[in-house]
């Protein structure tokens, strides 16, 4: 097959070949690879040395909120990684109606550690209400959300609060990396993806001013901004929704690439599919319905960056994904013999683009030895992204047609029954 | 050697006797002593006093097997006195020795309560001994020998020390002593000490076979010269009349001072501890007021002012928009959400109540965690729980002397 492919490549006219690879080059190529390569070359030309620690010494009061449900196995280790890692730190653990003794374990930790508060919600209300429950109990300038199964790297809190020295910054996204990346192929691929999409991708989005997501696993918010925008709304996708509301309120959203947090990723394909499907529902729910007013040019709150953000989602993540499926389907029907070569050509090209991005990651990462291994699964990355695209398409279709997210148990039934169905 | 009741006929060797001879005439007293010297069993003693009053005093503090009362000839007044004497001493046989040959005198002596009447002239030791045996056998108290007389006494010589117990409960200067004999209820010691300097109640330490001193509280009943020493005879105090009874050494909560203290004065206790007599045993450790060391009460309270009067603010969680805020923010004509403006909210269906921060009603404090506050019940001082002082509570014990163990040794 390889020889046939090479033969086909050599026999295909360059303009025809360009036509085959142009969609990939113009879409993911431009959007991810070329942009990140350009950023890297620019930083290299400017002599920008990757700092191990931010030079500024902004030290605001910080409150870390650990909201979780039935996380008794990981809550103590998370608390241990958080407590004491920052001088002016308050920790609030919110137990969202757990039945496995998570709050008791947290209370035991709180009994022997200062400034740790444990709040218990008698009834499960969902992650949004759990996070909002902590807000009245803190006066900190910055509120940081950390998943209860996560582990903060050294200086993570220090790194993530530095951008708040700019009073216009409303939220800062940290870098979430896979903690259990070496367990199996699924986790390795996710670990590689997190490096590329979260570490590098958000760095680029932040530079371009179109960052639209601050992960709930590790994200920092100015408390004043949270209070002004009413805190988290009912999810799923509550983290992205809050960021969009902050953007609409003219707050800046930035990324702190060296504020790193390790979290557990799904280890099974089915679990991964369900997770990504839940994440992708938010594209329709928030960026096509709830916050479509960001595209209203006549609105007094209109900002071009918000419009660019919406366009990026509509075009790259929705329209072109669907177009790509249609084109591939057409090829499969009309030119089945060509389909294989087209897919293989794009697959190889994708690998090359991934390799370029891997080089950029190596330039920026503070731990090259830790992250270099991700090259090992590079040949499988394009297939992996196809899988994710499939989950994305499923999510887009079912959310658009049936509002599937309002049937998901991520939000308790008594909440999703009364919340707005956008 | 145990003391046993004498058989009517002398079939076995008689145990040692303790006799009290009351005789105003010293010559007669000496004669009797010489007469009895060959007849009495080994280790018997004959103590001499000059008059009945002195005899009563001695009998109150010591136990004798019999009393020999000497009368002068035609001393009718003495017989009347003897009647009073026998009434006072009803647990010891009394033998009257008289110089009056008149039989009427003998009858009157019998009617006065004496056990036997002997004429002094021509009296032999055998006669005296026979009368003694008879009198001791016949003399009973309600059909049995008095307990005091049933109790055997054992000779025991061992090192002892006397600790006078002063009026304030503190120990006085210790006095070296030697034990003489012991019974289950009393002990006799010899000490080189002025009797006036030894109070009635003392703590007696006796060196036991394991060379350890063990102690008993003793009330001295008699003190007599036993040259070159003084003979102290007393009974063991075992109940609450013992100043060092365990009930006085066990700490109790004193409702006036609100402290744990022993009934015995603390200064006295420490004196005894310093002498090595009382051994402290830690029984508890309590938290006390840092100001006056009285017992406080502990409760959750305001960290700022220590008040227990705090209130929980109420929060409302609106399900539809996940908004959580103070209930006051939802107040209006109906319960309305300040975030999404939804009105007419119904508890349970649309929202739930949650506990919020705490407010102190006595100061401006408003926060989440109450502090453990101590409030002294005596001086009213309020303090944080960690400022309380740990105070050890001790009870004390004395290594008590077991008379039975001493008797075994004797």
Please check whether residue A91 is in contact with residue A61, taking contact to mean a CB–CB distance below 8 angstroms. no
Among A166-175, A235-244, B131-140, B395-404, the range scoring the smallest mean pLDDT is B131-140
Pair (B108, B180) in one structural domain: no
- Token pair belonging to A140: 């900190």
Q: Is the pLDDT of residue B34 over 70?
A: yes
Question: How much is the pLDDT for A227?
Answer: 94
The CATH code of the domain that includes B208 is 2.40.10.220
Structural domain ending residue among the three candidates B150, B166, B192: B150
Residue-wise pLDDT tens digits, B202-256: 999 999 888 889 999 999 888 787 777 888 888 888 777 888 888 889 999 999 9
% of chain B exceeding 70 in pLDDT: 86
Domain residues for B75?
18-150
Q: Cβ–Cβ of A415/B354 closer than 8 Å?
A: no
Write down which residue in B98, B119, B150 finishes a domain.
B150
Domain containing B87 — which CATH number?
3.40.50.2300
Q: Contacts by B145-152 with C-beta closer than 8 Å and gap 24+?
A: B145/B5, B146/B91, B148/B63, B148/B91, B148/B185, B149/B63, B149/B65, B149/B91, B149/B92, B151/B63, B151/B183, B151/B184, B151/B185, B152/B2, B152/B3, B152/B183, B152/B407
- Beta strands B66-71 and B154-155: pairing type? unpaired
Q: Does residue B190 share a domain with residue B130?
A: no
Please indicate, yes or no, if residue B370 is contained in any of the structural domains: no
The DSSP secondary-structure symbol of B141 reads: B
Q: Is B127 a member of any domain?
A: yes
pLDDT at B410 over 70: no
Residue of A nearest to B349 (CA): A414
Q: Is B186 helix (H, G, I), strand (E, B) or coil?
A: strand
Query: What is the largest distance, in Å, between two alpha-carbon atoms of chain B?
Result: 133
- Taking an 8 Å cut-off on Cβ atoms, the answer to whether A128 and B322 are in contact is yes
Based on the fold, state whether residues B100 and B210 are members of the same structural domain.
Answer: no
Helical packing angle, A381-402 and A320-334, nearest 10°: 110
Contact A38, A207 (CB under 8 A): no
Domain count along chain B: 2
- What letters, b where the CB count within 10 A reaches 16 and e where it falls short, cover A3-36? eeeeebeeebeeeeeeebbeebeebbbebbbbbb
Which parts of chain A sit beneath pLDDT 70? 1, 16-31, 48-56
Cβ contact (<8 Å) for B339 and A231? yes
In a domain, B328, yes or no: no
In chain A, residues with a C-beta closer than 8 Å to the C-beta of B321 are 230, 233-234, 419-420
Q: Which residues pair with B326 in a beta bridge?
A: B315
pLDDT one-digit tens code per residue, A366-392: 888 888 888 888 899 988 988 998 899
Residues B124 and B47 in one domain: yes
Residues B80 and B177 in one domain: no
> What would be the CATH architecture of the domain defined by A1-413?
Alpha-Beta Complex (3.90)
Interchain proximity B323–A419, CB inside 8 Å: no
Angle subtended at Cα A220 by Cα A171 and Cα A99, rounded to the nearest 5 degrees:
135
The β-bridge partners of A68 are: A95
Q: Which of A123, A137, A231 lies nearest to residue B352, judging by beta carbons? A: A123
pLDDT for residue B140:
45
- Amino acid B278: pLDDT: 93
Whether residues B105 and B45 fall in one domain: yes
Closest to B314 measured CA to CA, from B300, B333, B335, B299:
B335
Do B168 and B108 share a structural domain?
no
The angle that helices B125-138 and B26-37 make with each other, rounded to 10 degrees, is: 90
Q: In chain B, which residues have their Cβ closer than 8 Å to the Cβ of A133?
A: 315, 317, 324, 354
**Which residues of chain B from 110 to 169 reach within 8 Å of chain A, CB to CB?**
none
Asked whether the beta carbons of residue B323 and residue A231 sit closer than 8 angstroms, the reply is yes
Quickly count: other Cβ atoms within 10 Å of residue B60's Cβ. Answer: 11
Does any CB of chain A come closer than 8 Å to the CB of residue B346?
no
CB < 8 Å to B337, chain A: none
ipTM value: 0.84
Contact between B339 and A230 using a beta-carbon 8 Å cutoff: yes
> Is residue B146 located within the same domain as residue B207?
no
């Amino acid at each position: 097959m390889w020889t046939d492919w090479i033969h086909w490549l050599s026999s295909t006219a360059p303009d025809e070949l360009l036509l085959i690879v142009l969609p990939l080059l113009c879409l993911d190529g431009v959007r991810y690879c070329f942009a990140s390569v350009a950023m890297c070359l620019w930083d290299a030309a400017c002599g920008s040395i990757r700092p191990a620690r931010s030079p500024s010494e902004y030290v605001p009061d910080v409150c870390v909120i650990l909201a979780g449900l039935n996380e008794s196995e990981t809550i103590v280790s998370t608390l241990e990684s958080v407590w004491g890692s920052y001088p002016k730190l308050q920790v609030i653990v919110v137990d969202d109606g757990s039945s496995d003794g998570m709050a008791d374990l947290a209370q035991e930790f709180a009994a022997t550690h200062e400034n740790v508060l444990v709040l218990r919600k008698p009834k499960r209300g969902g992650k949004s209400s759990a996070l909002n429950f902590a807000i009245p109990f803190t006066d900190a300038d910055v509120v940081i959300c950390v998943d209860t199964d996560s582990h903060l790297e050294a200086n993570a809190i220090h790194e993530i609060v530095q951008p708040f020295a700019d009073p216009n910054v409303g939220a800062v996204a940290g870098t979430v990396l896979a903690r259990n990346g070496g367990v199996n192929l699924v986790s390795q691929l996710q670990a590689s993806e997190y490096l590329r999409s979260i570490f590098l991708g958000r760095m680029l989005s932040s530079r371009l001013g179109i960052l639209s997501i601050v992960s709930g696993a590790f994200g920092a918010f100015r408390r004043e901004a949270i209070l002004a925008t009413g805190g988290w709304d009912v999810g799923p996708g509550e983290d992205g929704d809050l960021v969009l509301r902050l953007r609409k309120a003219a707050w800046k959203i930035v990324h702190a690439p060296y504020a790193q947090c390790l979290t557990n990723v799904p280890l099974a394909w089915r679990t991964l599919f369900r997770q990504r499907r839940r994440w992708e529902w938010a594209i329709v729910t928030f960026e096509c319905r709830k916050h479509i007013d960001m595209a209203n040019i006549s609105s007094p709150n209109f900002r071009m960056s918000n419009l660019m953000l919406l366009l990026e989602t509509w075009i790259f993540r929705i329209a072109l994904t669907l177009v790509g499926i249609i084109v591939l389907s057409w090829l499969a029907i009309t030119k089945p013999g060509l389909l294989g070569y087209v897919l293989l050509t794009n697959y190889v090209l994708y690998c090359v683009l991934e390799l370029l991005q891997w080089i950029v990651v190596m330039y920026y990462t503070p731990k090259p030895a830790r992250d270099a291994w991700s090259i090992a699964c590079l040949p499988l990355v394009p297939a992996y992204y196809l899988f994710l695209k499939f989950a994305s398409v499923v999510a887009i279709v079912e959310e658009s047609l049936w509002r599937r997210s309002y049937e998901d148990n991520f939000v308790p039934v008594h909440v999703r029954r009364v919340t707005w169905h956008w | 050697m145990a003391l046993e009741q004498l058989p009517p006929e002398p079939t076995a060797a008689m145990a040692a006797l303790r006799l009290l001879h009351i005789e105003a005439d010293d010559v007669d007293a000496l004669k009797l002593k010489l007469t009895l010297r060959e007849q009495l069993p080994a280790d018997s003693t004959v103590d001499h006093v000059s008059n009945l009053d002195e005899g009563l005093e001695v009998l109150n503090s010591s136990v004798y097997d019999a009393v020999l009362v000497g009368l002068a000839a035609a001393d009718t007044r003495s017989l009347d006195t003897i009647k009073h004497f026998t009434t006072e001493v009803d647990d010891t046989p009394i033998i009257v020795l008289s110089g009056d040959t008149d039989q009427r005198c003998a009858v009157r002596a019998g009617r006065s309560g004496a056990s036997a009447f002997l004429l002094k002239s021509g009296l032999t030791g055998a006669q005296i001994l026979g009368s003694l045996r008879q009198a001791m056998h016949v003399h009973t108290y309600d059909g049995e020998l008095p307990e005091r007389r049933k109790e055997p006494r054992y000779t025991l010589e061992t090192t002892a020390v006397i600790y006078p117990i002063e009026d304030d409960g503190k120990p006085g200067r210790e006095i070296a002593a030697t034990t003489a004999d012991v019974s289950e209820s009393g002990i006799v010691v010899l000490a080189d000490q002025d009797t006036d300097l030894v109070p009635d109640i003392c703590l007696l330490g006796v060196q036991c076979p394991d060379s350890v001193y063990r102690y008993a509280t003793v009330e001295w009943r008699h003190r007599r010269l036993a040259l070159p020493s003084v003979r102290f005879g007393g009974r063991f105090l075992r109940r609450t009349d013992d100043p060092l009874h365990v009930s006085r050494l066990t700490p109790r909560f004193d409702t006036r001072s609100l402290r744990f203290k022993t009934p015995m004065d603390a200064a006295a206790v420490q004196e005894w501890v310093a002498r090595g007599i009382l051994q402290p045993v830690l029984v508890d450790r309590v938290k006390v007021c840092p100001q006056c060391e009285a017992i406080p009460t502990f409760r959750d309270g305001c960290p700022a002012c220590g008040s227990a009067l705090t209130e929980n603010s109420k929060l409302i969680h609106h399900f539809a928009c996940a908004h959580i805020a103070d209930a006051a923010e939802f107040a209006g004509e109906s319960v309305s959400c300040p975030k999404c403006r939804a009105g007419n909210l119904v508890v349970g269906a649309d929202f739930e109540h949650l506990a919020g921060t705490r407010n102190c009603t006595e100061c401006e404090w408003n926060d989440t965690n109450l502090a453990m506050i101590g409030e002294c019940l005596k001086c009213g001082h309020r303090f944080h729980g960690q400022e309380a002082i740990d105070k050890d509570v001790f009870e004390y014990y004395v290594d008590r002397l077991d008379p039975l163990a001493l008797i075994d040794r004797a």
